[in-house]
Structure formats: C-alpha cells, structure tokens
Structure 1
Amino acid sequence: MGRGKLLYIITFYAVQLQTTQTSLQNTVQDCNQSSKNKMKDAELNEIDPEKQPVARETQTGNEKNGYAKVSIPGDMRVKLSGLTKDELMKIAGTVWWIRARWFLLVLFWLGWVGMLAGAVVIIVHAPRCKPIPEMNWWNEGPLYQISKVNEFSDNGLKGVEEKLDYLNHMKVKGLVLGPIHTVQADQLSTLDLTSIKPEVGTEKELESLLDQAHIKGIPIVLNLTPNYERNSAWFSNASSVAEKLREACKYWLNKGFDGIFLSGLSDIVNTSTWTSIQAIFNKTDATPIKALMGSVTGVSVDDVSRLLNSSGVDLFTTQLLDPIKAQEVQKLYNNHLQSSLAWSLSGQTLGTVASTRPAEPIRLCHILLFTLPGTPVVNAGDEVGLKAGEKLQTMWDLESPAETNATAKAVQEERIAVRDFFKTLSDLRGNERALLHGEFINLNNASSSLAFLRLWDQSERFLTAINWGNSPVTMTLSNSDLPAQAKVRISTDAANFAVDSMVSLEKFQLGPQQAVLLSYPYAG
C-alpha cells in the first residue's frame, strides 16, 4: 500500500468520526431541551391556572400557544422603616407637637361636653309622651258573638272549637258564647242556668273548648241571659232569678270562663242582688281578670249614661241609633271611660248587620263600627254580610271550590271581599293607637253624613267620613290639626278613593252610600 493511499484512508475515517460526534452532541442537546420544556409546562400548570397557556382547537389537534415570561430586573420592592425610639422622643418633645396634643385633647373634651349638653336640651324640650290608658283584653279588638251555636256549626261546641283558628285569623279578641243553658221559652220553672242544652254539646266538650281557646289566646264570655228565647229576657221579674244568676256566675267562672254577659241589663241592675253579683267580679292581684258585661237596646243616650254609672259593668254594649248622631257619641265619650263603651249593629234577637240595616252597604257599617271610640261587637255572619234568613253555614262554603254558576260565583267573590275588608279594619284597629284608644273629635254631622277624627298623642291621625244618604255630600272639615291632604287607608269607593292615594281635605266630597278612612302623620 502506498503512502498516499494510507493518508487518504486516515483522513476518511477522521471525517466520519467527527460527523458522528457532532450528531451525538446534537441529539443530547435536543433531549435536554425537551426535558426543560416539559419541566416548564409542569411548573406553569402547578403554579397558577390563570398563568397556564391558552389552548385552542385546530384541524391537526390541540396546540398550545400564548406563553409569556416576564423578567423583572432587580428587586423593585420598597422597604419602609419607621422612626427609631430616639427619633420619636426627639420629635415628641418639640414645642409644636406638645401644643398640638393639648389642642386635640381640649377639642375632644369640648365636643364630648357639647354632645352631652345637646342631648340634655333635646330631652328637656321634647314633648312628653302621653301615658297609655289602662287596657284590658276586651278593649284590644272586636268581640265576636255566637248566639246560636248549632247554627254556627253542625257540631255544636265541638264545631266552635274547630273554628278557633278562623277567629284568630279574623283578629277577634274575645268570644261571647251562647246562651247555652236549658230553659223553655217563658217557663221560669224550667230554668237551669248551670246546665248545658244536650243538643249543643256536653260539659266535656265545653271544657275542651275553653282549654283550646285559652291556648290560642281567645277569652270566652258566657251569655247568661235567662229567658233568651223571648224578648222578655228576665221573665218580667228579674228578682225571681237574681239569686240563681249569682250562683250561676260563680259556677261558670270557676269552670274557666273569662266573663259573664247579660242582655237587658236595665232589669237586673235594680234588684237587691245586683251588688252581690258585682262583688263576684271584684278584681284582685291574685286572680285573673274576669269581665262583667251587659247590653241594652232601644234606650236614649241619657239612659245609657245612667246605666253605665249605676251598673258598674266592665263593658257596656249599646245599639247604635239610626240615624247616627255624632253629638250623642261625643256625649257618651266625654262622660265615660272609653274602655267601658262598646258598640253593636247586630245581636242575638236582631240578627246580623245586613238584617238590621239593609239599606246601608255592609262595608260602610264596618268602617263606622271599627273606628268609633270603644269596642266593636259583631255577630257571627257580620264579617261576610249575611242577610236575614241566610244560614251561617254559608260562611264555611266560601272555602269550597269556586262556583260554576255566574250569579253564585259573583256572590261568593263578594262575600270573600267583604270578609277581607273586615279583617283589614280589624288589623288596623288593633295596631293603631289612635283607633285603639284615641280621642274622638266630631268634624261634621248632617242628617245623612258623618265625619270625625281619632287622634292620640304623637301617633298617626285617622279621619272617618261616612255618607249613608242617596245623594253626594260636600263636607267642610274644620280643625286646626287637619293638613291639606290625607292618605286613603280603606274605602268603599275604590274608583275615587284608591288605597294609599292622597286626597284633598278642602271641601271634601263623598258619593252616596260611601265611606272612607283616611290618615295623616302627626305634625308636631
């Protein structure tokens, strides 16, 4: 082999070796770079989802893009350091800082003393709140009379118990039950004031009714009018039953009744036994309050006033006269405690309101009854406007599915609306102090219209306006307390007096057989 050929072979293998070495280096670098990229991807995924690269769909598959890496040169954080102790002491000892401290201290105490003085001035000059008058449970809302238990419910006393939730829903504050004792009409020898008519229920059912009523917060008063089947409530001789009545009062109060109600009070008051009957109801701190209630019908305002003084009853119910005269209401209000007055438009012998006053819309009667000073007393059926001859069962039929007959459906809807109207008034009377125990001020009283104010201390004022005539009226309402406008709270004329609308009180106009209850705030 020649020298030239040997040199060629050595050169060839040297080039091949160098090429192989370069290839190996490139492969190693590619592997290292791939490993670094994978590590960066893992770090981005673990650190913060918001910093992850954006993924987008392509035709060739998933592709990652949007990598961004920002390098911040140096440390840009600002380091703060407070003053040293020596520096603070040096500044605190300067004259200007000492004066500033004294100025701020004096300013603080002057402000504190000023606020204290202001509070004292406000308290001293603020108007005193009028003390709330003594209230009993029979003054807090309407009393509901169930005179004929079997007509109210087919289940007698048990049925009354089943309707206690209904009475609570209507905001009734007391129930006047009965009479339920045994007697034959005008037959004094059959009178037994301590027994229960078998057709009404048993004594056990009565005890259950009393227990459940007290649990639900409804006091029950028993009507013990002896000869309740006839107009002559006392057999034309009250003295003959007075002693029986006294013993019966003790008996039923011990059974759990919260009071006794007597019709035709003027007859029994004049007997010699009346004082001992009154003594049963003397109130002591050791016993629950029991109420003695009575009523009269067809007597003058002066006679009512005399009976209130002589009878000493806790609550006296009188029939509203027709036409209603504000002067007479004002007279009773001025001469007697409002807590002892009660008003009624119906009753055991008279029937419902719609029966006694058929010419007047039932809503008008409800507004009048609930806004007069004193306790409203309603008869079962008044809340839906039942008329003479209609059964009380009609009230419970209102909860059944809507009538298909157009006329029957209209009657059903009207009665439900009347019941809602009644409940709204009952709510208002129980929640508003002016209606609960406010003053009565007559504003206008004509032959067929009436307007009066109810106001109490700094509470909201209420104005009742009623026109039971067949022609429109324009009322001139004059009182220094009246504003230019008032808000409608409830009315019988939704077209002209929509609830919550504002109406002018100057030359106030009211349509025929319409009533409205307005309110306005205390002005100071």
Structure 2
Amino acid sequence: MEQTEETGSKPGRMPLNAGDTGYGSVPGSVLSSSVAASESSPLLIPEEEPEPEVVYRWKPLSREQLEAAAGGPGWRKVRCYLVLLFWLAWLAMLATSIAIVVMSPRPVVTPLQWWQKTLFYQLQPDTEGPGGVSALCEQLPYLRSLGIGALILAGLSDKEASPSNVTVTGERLKTVAEIQHLLTESNRADLKVVLDFCELDVAGSQRLNLSATYTLRFWLEQGVAGFAICDTDAAYSEKTLVEWRGVFKEFSSQEEERILVVKQTQDVLPPLNNVTLVDMVMRSILPSSNHLLSANEVADAIETHLQTREDIIWPSWTVGGKASPDLKKLLLVLMMTLPGSPAVQYDEDLDQTQNVSLKVGSSNGEAIESDADREKTKHLAVALFTSLSRSRAREEALLYGSFTFLPFNSSTNSSSSFNSTLASPSSPPILAFLRSWGCVHFLILLNVGPEPHGLDPAWAPSLPEAGVFFTSTGMDRLGSMTLDKLELRPHEAIVIKLFKAGSYS
C-alpha cells in the first residue's frame, strides 16, 4: 500500500504506456502506420504507362449481319433517296431530250410513191441476139441486184402493142407471147415494167380497130406498171389522158399505182390544165445532136438544167444526146444525184451477156492487154453503178433532200474562181450543187473539161471545209479530205459528204 503511493507520487516520469493512450489528439496507431508508409514509399513517383492502342481490323460482314444491317431504318431511307434521285435525273434528261427534239428544226418528210424512189433502166430486147427475150429474162435477177427497180421496155411497134396480134410476121418483131413471158419473169424478180408507147398510134387506130382503153386494159391485166408516151403523140391531150387515168384507177392500189410517163422531146413541155394526169416527165440532160457534143456544150447544157428546174411534175433524168465516152461516168453520177428518178439507158458494160473472152494463149500481146483493160472497165462500171444506186436508196439527202446550185464565176473564168495554174481560159467551169437533208450535206462536183481544176478556198465560205469522199468516177477516192486541197481530174465527178469540224454526221 505504501509502495503504491510512493511510485505514483514521483514527479517527472512519463508513463510507459503513453503510446497506447495517445499523445494529444493523434492516436498512436495512426502515427505508427504513417511512419511505416513513408518508409516504404518510393522517392520518385513513376509516370503512368499509356494504355495500349487497340487496332481495329475491317472484317466482311456475314450474311446474317448484312441482312440485319440492310434492313435497318437508316439504310431504307438511303435507298429511297437514291431511287428517287435516279428517277428525277432520268425524267430531267428525258424532258431535256424531248425539248431539244421539239425545238430543233426538222425537215419535213414527203411520202414518195414507188416511181419516185425507183431507178429506171431503158432497154430494148433484141430477138436477133443470143437467146433474145430469154437471155434478158435470165439477167433480170442480176439487174435487180444492181439496184434497178423498173424496166422501160422500148422498141415496140404498133403490131406488138396491139393485143390482137398474137403471131409474128417478121424476124425483128417481138411477139405478144414473148412480152407476156418477160412480164411474168419480171414480176418474179421484183422488177416493174413500163411499156414505151412513144410515137405509137395507141390512142385510137382505125387500122387496128381497137380503142386505146382496150389496149391499156390488156397490158394492165398482164401486170404492166405503166406506160410512156411522147409529148408529141396524139395521146398527149387532156381528153385522152382523162380517159386513161380512169383506166389506171381500176388497176391501181395504194402499193402498186399505175403511172404515166411523158418523154419531153421539145424544149418546152406543152402545158396541161390538169397536171395530175401525168405522173412523171422524162427529160434529157443533153440536147439531141447528130455529132458528139464538145465539153463546153455539155457543160452549158448541164448548167442550164441545174439553174432552171421545174418541180411541178416529178422529173426523170436521162442523158439523151451524144457525148464523149470520157463523160459517160460523169453523166451517170449527175443523173443519180439530181432530184428525181434517174432513167439509165442500156449499157453494154452492165450486160452479163457481153462478157469479154480473154485470149490467154494468143501470141498478140496487145490483144491480151486490150481484153484485160476492157474487163477492168466493165468491173469499174458495175462498181460505180452499184455504189450510186445503193447510196441513193439509203441516203435521205440524195433521195429527197433539198437542192442548191453552187455557181462558179464561169463568165470570166478568172483565178478568183479557179486555180489559174491548172485550168486554161477555154476550159469549161466546174459545176457543183448541194443536196441537203437536216445536218447532212452532199457536195457534187463535176469537171466536164479535159484539164484538172483546183478549188479556191473563197469559192463557198459557208460550206464546211472538211468531208469524206463518198464516191467518184474513178472509184479511187477514199478517206477524209478538205476542199482547199482538192484537185479535180479531167472528166471527173466526185460526191463528197461534208461535215463540220468535230462532227461525224
């Protein structure tokens, strides 16, 4: 008991358990934990390491994922907008195209009858030739392949034209039966036949005791497509033609209308009060003459027809007069490119029966060369004829395009119109005309003279300068060309299809 009081009363001593009871307001346990933490913590605080980057790889969607995504509302809106945008753009382009077509000028197409689109071929069957009419019948498919659409059968006599004459009393006369056979074969070959009654007394011959209408009915029943008369015949009168027109209506249809062709033999065609009685007027480009016309005479005749054209009755062009053989191809190109229906006269170069037999074993070299040149000439003639006939059939500008005569300064023949280094003052001028249909233009150039000609660039400044060769008399002009560098050869005709720079119309 005493010992206890003595110990508790000693001053200046700290109790041993002070750490347990705490000193002040800091507990002992907290102090000890903080000291331990400070001793274990690092002196430098390390920086935080960056998080690793996640690499995303594109993987194709599976079929189920694609179907789920495509069927979502977002994709449905996108598809609707795209479809709407497509149709709006399509309608806008359609409306623009219609507006361009409606507002752009368009040529007016005039419906043409069969004779206005047909190439006529005048011939006269020769009974003295090999085979006679039978040989001609064998050539009908060949003539049709050349582009010929109708034959004008000339050389008939009063006896042959009369249906009462079924027998023949002369070696040079063709029988009615032969003509009937020719008509049958022509219909099989899709060739129409026009009988030439020019200078025949079919209007009312008392010798035959037959009326003209009876004669017409007989041949129309055989399949004749029409008849041709001269402007000097007695049948060329309004009274007779009205009677003939009534007969034509009985045998005509919308597809196969019977026609009447009038051959103009005079400078001026005698007028008729009713021009509808005549379907076509056949005019000669060259005047009739007993001698070969010179180059200047041919050029004057062509220029006269090009400057004075009558469109009252549908024209049909034939050569008519006599010209140099060098101008044969030029006149063919002219007929095929003029407005109207060309009527080509019989050409032995187009006759299959006029084949040249080459003398291969002959010792005469000149004869072999002559035969070879002749065969080459025939091939070129057939190629030119076929090219012109097919071009006229498929080209609208050559079939029913507008016509524009392009005159040169032919009065002075100066260097302003021609190249003076190529043409002499006595040489005939170049003749030219234009056939146009819409934006398509065909330029036809004719050099009738025996000397070459060059074109002056200032001759026709409104024409396009560039073009392509369509055909020529020599069949050797090919490819593109420019008018300023063109030179026409002697007796050459050229057909050029013009186009503007950057255009291929």
Please indicate, yes or no, whether the TM-score normalized by the shorter chain is above 0.5: yes
Task: Report the structure, 1 or 2, having the larger helix content.
Answer: 1
How high is the TM-score relative to the length of structure 2?
0.68
> Are residue 470 (structure 1) and residue 437 (structure 2) matched?
no
Alignment counterpart, residue 244 of structure 2, candidates 277, 289, 293: 277
1:95-114 pair list within 5 angstroms = 97-114=72-89
Q: Which residue of 1 aligns with 2:353?
A: 396
Unaligned runs of 5+ in 1: 1-79, 185-190, 228-232, 351-355, 385-391
Determine the C-alpha separation between the residues in 1 that align with 2:90 and 2:473: 51
> In structure 2, what residue type is equivalent to 1:154?
P
Matched, 1:490 2:471: yes
Does 1:362 find its partner at 2:328? Answer: yes
In structure 2, C-alpha distance between the alignment counterparts of 1:368 and 1:428, rounded to whole Å: 13
Whole-Å Cα distance in 1 between the matches of residues 209 and 497 of structure 2? 47
Question: What residue identity is the alignment partner of 1:166?
Answer: Y
Distance 2:382 2:190 in 1: 22
Q: Is the 8 A contact 1:292 1:313 kept in 2?
A: yes
Cα distance between partner residues in 2 of 1:308 and 1:426: 35
Residue 283 of structure 2 corresponds to residue 318 of structure 1? yes
Q: TM-score w.r.t. structure 1 length? A: 0.66
Between the aligned partners of 2:192 and 2:150, the Cα distance in structure 1 is 5
Paired with 2:308 and 2:209, the residues of 1 have a C-alpha distance of 32
| 2:151 corresponds to | 175
Q: After TM superposition, give the deviation of residue 276 of structure 1 in Å.
A: 0.9
Give yes or no for contact 1:433–1:456 (8 Å, CA) kept in 2.
Answer: yes
Q: What is the rounded CA distance, in whole Å, between the counterparts of 2:330 and 2:468 in structure 1?
A: 18
Q: Is the 8 A contact 1:472 1:509 kept in 2?
A: yes
- CA apart distance, 1:137: 2.3
1:371 paired residue number: 337
Following superposition, the deviation at residue 243 of structure 1 comes to: 7.4
**Aligned mates of 1:407, 1:287 — CA distance in 2:** 48
2:139 alignment partner in structure 1 = 163
1:223 matches 2:196: yes
**Structural mapping, 1:40-439, within 5 Å:** 82=62, 97-126=72-101, 127=104, 129-150=106-127, 153-183=129-159, 192=162, 195=165, 198=168, 199=171, 200-227=173-200, 244-265=211-232, 267-270=234-237, 272-282=239-249, 285=253, 288-297=256-265, 299-300=266-267, 303-304=268-269, 306=271, 310=275, 312-321=277-286, 322=298, 323-326=300-303, 328-333=305-310, 335-336=311-312, 340-346=314-320, 356-358=322-324, 360-381=326-347, 383-384=349-350, 396-398=353-355, 400-401=357-358, 405=367, 406-439=369-402
The alpha carbon displacement at 1:116 in A equals 1.3
Question: Which residue is 2:479 aligned to?
Answer: 501
Q: Could you give the per-residue CA deviations for residues 318-372 of structure 1, whole angstroms, max 9, x where no partner exists?
A: 1113433445335325x335xx1100014xxx6xxxxx11264321121111111
Alignment length (residue pairs): 401
Change in 2 beyond 3 A, CA 1:249/1:211: same
Alpha carbons of 1:471 and 1:82: their partners in 2 closer, same or farther (altered >3 Å)? closer
Following the alignment from structure 1 to structure 2, what is the Cα–Cα distance between the partners of residues 138 and 259? 10
RMSD: 3.8
Deviation, 1:248, is 1.4
Structure 1 runs (4+) deviating above 6 angstroms are 237-243
* Secondary structure class of the residue paired with 2:239: coil
Say whether the 8 Å CA contact 1:318–1:344 is kept in structure 2. yes
Structure 2 vs 1, CA of residues 285 and 183 (structure 1 numbering), >3 Å: closer, same or farther? Answer: closer
Q: What is the alpha-carbon distance in structure 2 between the residues aligned to residue 502 and residue 112 of structure 1?
A: 42
1:17 is aligned to: none
Residue-by-residue CA offset, 1:171-227 (whole Å, 9 max, x unaligned): 11101113434459xxxxxx8465367345544443332222112210111112344
Equivalent-residue separation in structure 2 for 1:380 and 1:197 (angstroms) = 27
Secondary structure at 1:293 match in 2: strand
SS in 2 for 1:225: coil
Q: CA deviation at 1:170?
A: 1.8
Tell me the equivalent position of 1:441.
404
Contact 1:221–1:259 (Cα < 8 Å) also in 2: yes
Aligned partner of 2:289 in structure 1 is none
**Pairwise CA distance, 1:148:** 4.3
- Cα deviations across residues 410-459 of structure 1 (Å, max 9, x unaligned)? 2232233222222221222122111111111111354543101112224x
Shifted more, 374-383 versus 196-205: the winner is: 196-205
Question: Helix, strand or coil for the counterpart of 1:144?
Answer: strand
Deviations 1:231-269 (A, max 9, x none): xx899x999999743331222112211111113456532
Aligned CA distance change for structure 1 residues 197 and 341 (closer, same or farther; 3 Å)? farther
**Which residues of structure 2 form unaligned runs of 5+?**
1-59, 287-297, 411-427
Alpha-carbon distance between aligned partners in 2 of 1:471 and 1:375, rounded to the nearest angstrom: 31
Q: Percent identity?
A: 21
Contact 1:220 1:258 in 2 (8 A): yes
Distance 1:454 1:84, change over 3 A: closer
Distance 2:399 2:312 in 1: 16
Higher-Rg member (1/2): 2
